[in-house]
Amino acid sequence: MLSASASLQSTWIALADPTRRSILERLSRGEARVTEIASPYSMSLNAVSKHIRVLERARLIRRRRAGREHFLSFNPDPLTSAASWIEEQRSLWMSRLDALDALLQAQNAAAAKTPKRKDKSR
Amino acid sequence: MNPPPQKATVQVTRRFSASAERVFDAWLDPSTAGKWLFATPTGKMVKVKIDARVGGSYLIVEQRDGVDVEHVGEYLEIDRPRRLVFTLKVPKYSQENTKLTIEIRALDSGCELTLTHEGVLPDYIASTTSGWNMILDHLAGTL
């Protein structure tokens, strides 16, 4: 089982490649066979299979076997956790900037109480 | 095969009633930066060294639970009060350098700051996030 950070890492790696993103886009419209996925790309089935394996490792796609056929489908869960992680980072920085704003306003208030020097820069 | 580490970018925008110059200086003035940038409620700021020039470095050390946590980096661009670019590394958690770009746009009143944090690594963040949230809640409450 992957740790939370390792699985985020594998999500970034999977999404870093444009071919893999377009495979996901195709699968987000519905389940497809491996051969159907490969057909729009000017690369070998083997090369496409490698991309598919990366996506499977990142749990972004699932594979279902029906007889000889392999069907692939999109699993959005890792994207959701990646998005929520990004959102956490955003709110973290936002809180830091809130703290900066509060500090600057506190300095204004302190300066108003003890006007040691007037800043006439305006 | 060992793929290169993939990194995320985080961007936030915020308006300030203070001038662009004051907001800009808050990142580089040691006495101001030490109060908010890497300060935590239970920690004790032990060192704030800022060599505010391109190629200069900074070292901000806070003692948390008896352990010194260093924040180090180097200034890549300093264009007061519009743009500040620097690296950030917290060796206690990760040897990776991340890059911060601060862009400040003056408004009729106050300014708008856009922060871009590039190369944020999940494992680095995982070990620091909870601490940060606590710190910031505390700061917001005391200021």
Question: What single string gives the DSSP state of each residue in A34-90?
Answer: HHHHHTTSSS-HHHHHHHHHHHHHTTSEEEEEETTEEEEEE--HHHHHHHHHHHHHH
Instruction: Give CA angle at B131 (B46, A89), nearest 5°.
Output: 115
In the prediction, which pLDDT does A93 show?
85
In the prediction, which pLDDT does A119 show?
54
| Of B76 and A29, the one with more pLDDT | B76
Q: How far is A67 from chain B (nearest CA, A)?
A: 32
Any chain B CB within 8 A of the CB of A53? no
ipTM comes to 0.72
> Given a cut of 80, is residue B124 above it in pLDDT?
no
Coil, helix or strand for B6? coil
Report the interhelical angle of A45-57 vs A18-27 (nearest 10°): 80
Q: How far is A121 from chain B (nearest CA, A)?
A: 11
> Hey, what are B2's tokens?
């060992």
In the prediction, which pLDDT does A21 show?
83
> Hey, what are B35's tokens?
């109060």
pTM of the model: 0.67
In the prediction, which pLDDT does B120 show?
66
Q: Which of A3, A8, A51, A96 to mutate to test the interface with B (most CBs of B within 10 A)?
A: A96
Task: Tell me which residue in A6, A97, A103 faces B14 most closely, judged by beta carbons.
Answer: A97
* Partner-chain contact A106 B143, CB within 8 Å: yes
In the prediction, which pLDDT does B7 show?
62
- The tens-digit pLDDT sequence of chain A (122 residues) is 445 666 777 787 787 788 888 898 888 888 999 888 888 877 788 889 999 999 999 999 999 999 988 999 988 888 777 777 777 778 878 888 998 999 999 998 888 887 655 555 54
Residue B19 lies in a domain: yes
> Given a cut of 60, is residue B136 above it in pLDDT?
no
C-alpha span between A100 and B23 (Å, rounded): 8
Residue B3 lies in a domain: no
Q: How many domains does chain B have?
A: 1
**How much of chain B exceeds pLDDT 90, in percent?**
56
Residue B9: DSSP 8-state? E
Which stretches of chain B sit within 8 Å of chain A by CB? 3, 5-8, 10-12, 14, 16-18, 22-23, 26, 32, 35-37, 113, 115, 117, 120-123, 125-126, 129, 132-133, 136-137, 139-140, 143
Query: Confidence band (pLDDT; 50, 70, 90) for B84?
Result: very high
Give me the residues paired with residue B114 across strands.
Answer: B13, B103
Q: CATH number for A4-75: choose from 1.10.10.10, 3.40.50.300, 3.30.200.20, 1.20.1440.230.
A: 1.10.10.10
Q: How far is B67 from chain A (nearest CA, A)?
A: 22
Any chain B CB within 8 A of the CB of A86? yes
- Signed CA dihedral, A18, A19, A22, A27: sign only: negative
Q: Which residues of A touch B3 (CB under 8 A)?
A: 13
Residue B32 lies in a domain: yes
Q: Which domain holds residue B26?
A: 8-131
Residue B143 lies in a domain: no
Residue B142 lies in a domain: no
Nearest to A52, CA basis, from A43, B9, B10: A43
Q: What is the pLDDT of residues B12-41, one digit of tens each?
A: 899 999 999 999 999 999 999 999 888 777
In the prediction, which pLDDT does A5 show?
61
Which domain CATH number covers B48? 3.30.530.20
Instruction: Write b or e for each residue in A64-76: b if 16 or more Cβ atoms lie within 10 A of its Cβ, otherwise e.
Output: eeeeeeeebebbe
- Within 10 angstroms of residue B140's Cβ, the number of other Cβ atoms is 13
C-alpha span between A90 and A49 (Å, rounded): 35
Task: Tell me which residue in A4, A92, A101 faces B132 most closely, judged by beta carbons.
Answer: A92
Half-sphere exposure of B131 (CA within 13 A, CB side): 16
